[in-house]
A and B are shown apart, each in its own frame.
Chain A
Amino acid sequence: MKLKRFIGCFCMVLAAVVLATIQHNDALAAYPDKPINYIISFNPGGESDVTARLQQSHLEKILGVTVNVTHKPGGGGAVAWSEFQRTARPDGYTIIGVNIPHIIAQPMERKDTGYTTDGFELIMWFHFTPNALIVQRDGDIKTLADFIKLAKAKPKAVTVAGSGTYSANHLDALRLDKLAGIQTTYVPHTGTGPIIPALMGGHVTSTMNYTMVGVQYKDKLRTLAVAADARVAMLPDVPTFKELGYDIVGGAYRGVAVPKGTPPDIVKKLTDAFLKTTDLIAAKQREMGFEITTATGKQAIDLVARMKADYGGILSELEAQKK
């Protein structure tokens, strides 16, 4: 009996000492002093991954520690995000890439997403890809007016491909339907990748996709309109939906977040590092068809709130339609 108590005491003391040293170390050492794990919730080779790889070396230089880019794909990002909110320690050594509208739409749509939109401490949103309506270059459709005329003539026969259901692509395709008074068929695909051959081969009429598709496949595909407030730098000849009389502005944002409860000075350090990095890779990012954003702090939270209101309206309307 005595021995048991002694061992118990001993263990407690030991644990206390260990804990004290750990905390002591944390308080003493200036952040960061060990490698940072940058989680990407999508497959290697995708746009999120390529961007993270571009940021990696600059971040390492600025922060002075190794930054490991690791992938945890699955569930359209939900697997990584839910595990992150459940297990990541708020010490700034685990950061994760986040996407709008994914982190807004998924918790609204699924019962078992496992994370909440507001459960992240946002560092910043670093780029934006507006949606764009894209068709074959050599087809009959040359303008948005042509597209709408065709859709009116043949209801449901005009197909619009997009990546995912309730995604940025899907929601703007629905908006176009509503504003133009047409009936198109939205065909969800597993990503941007498989849409390109489907469009080139004429298996779908059009795609509501990101502007970068229009930039990268300029000589094979035609962009009819972009869903941004102003024209996109890499596609100067393409009008915005607004110019053509349809109030559609939308797309996907990419950003980075840490767990809730991360100390403010660490958040500050990471924010500065990402701002600097974004600046350094801006030229390359624009070339690939991204628009640079620098929404940090309150701005970043406001952006989420704004998009949440936007998507919430469409989603509830869609739900009502289903019933």
Chain B
Amino acid sequence: MIRNVNTDLVAGTLGLLLSLTFWSLIDPRMTHMSAVFPTAMIGIMAIASALLVIKGFSRAAERGNLFDVGSNVRVLATGLFFFGWVIAIGYLGFFVSSVLVMSLLALYLALAGRRVSPARFALWVGIVACEVAFFYLIFTRLLHVLLPEGWFF
């Protein structure tokens, strides 16, 4: 947890950086038709950010605690699980990677609050496999969405 942060200042600075990034990416060879709207919007973004920065230095600045809900380690780990999942889909295929990541994620989240015996975990892997198979079949067979293939299928 990060305590008592001037969120107005942070948001404003972030907004200014973002406007600068977008502004630098505008291709000068673009026609007026394509450039006029983003340019105007970058302007508004910069103004809103500047106002936030000014407010950030005033007495009215909003202050708050960041990341103060629950366990941040678990958030980080869950995020890593998610990104790993999507990357794994590209290599292992949808089915295998989903069963793998979902089982491990369920185990990780459950271990925070209780103990999990190996037998129980095996059961969970089974449940997860059924779930994934259910989605897999509905999407590939009924909806004709070809989910990424990798190992096996």
Binding site for B on A (CB under 8 A): 37, 68-70, 165, 188, 322
B33 touches A70 (CB 8 A): no
The residues in B between 26 and 82 inclusive whose CB is less than 8 angstroms from any CB of A are 31, 33
Nearest CB of B to A72, in Å: 11
Residues on A with beta carbons closer than 8 Å to the beta carbon of B1: none
A37 touches B33 (CB 8 A): no
Judged by a CB distance under 8 angstroms, whether B144 is at the interface is yes
Judged by a CB distance under 8 angstroms, whether B146 is at the interface is yes
**Total chain B interface residues with beta-carbon distance under 8 A:** 5
A188 touches B146 (CB 8 A): no
Judged by a CB distance under 8 angstroms, whether B145 is at the interface is yes
Closest to B140 in A: A68
Nearest CB of B to A68, in Å: 4
The 6 tightest CB contacts between A and B, nearest first, are A68-B144, A37-B146, A70-B146, A68-B146, A70-B144, A70-B145
Binding site for A on B (CB under 8 A): 31, 33, 144-146
Residues on A with beta carbons closer than 8 Å to the beta carbon of B146: 37, 68, 70
Chain B interface, >50% SS class: loop
Residues on A with beta carbons closer than 8 Å to the beta carbon of B144: 68-70
Closest to A323 in B: B29
A69 CA to B145 CA in the complex, in Å? 9
Closest to B144 in A: A68
B145 touches A188 (CB 8 A): no
Residues on B with beta carbons closer than 8 Å to the beta carbon of A69: 144
Closest to B31 in A: A322
Nearest CB of B to A300, in Å: 27
A146 CA to B12 CA in the complex, in Å? 57
Residues on B with beta carbons closer than 8 Å to the beta carbon of A37: 146
Interface centre among B31, B144, B145 (most CB of A within 10 A): B144
Closest to B27 in A: A111
A165 CA to B145 CA in the complex, in Å? 31
A68 CA to B146 CA in the complex, in Å? 9
Nearest CB of B to A228, in Å: 30
A37 CA to B31 CA in the complex, in Å? 38
Nearest CB of A to B125, in Å: 25
A69 CA to B144 CA in the complex, in Å? 7
Residues on A with beta carbons closer than 8 Å to the beta carbon of B31: 322
Nearest CB of A to B150, in Å: 13
Nearest CB of A to B30, in Å: 11
What are some 10 contacts across the A-B interface (CB < 8 A)?
A37-B146, A68-B144, A68-B146, A69-B144, A70-B144, A70-B145, A70-B146, A165-B33, A188-B33, A322-B31
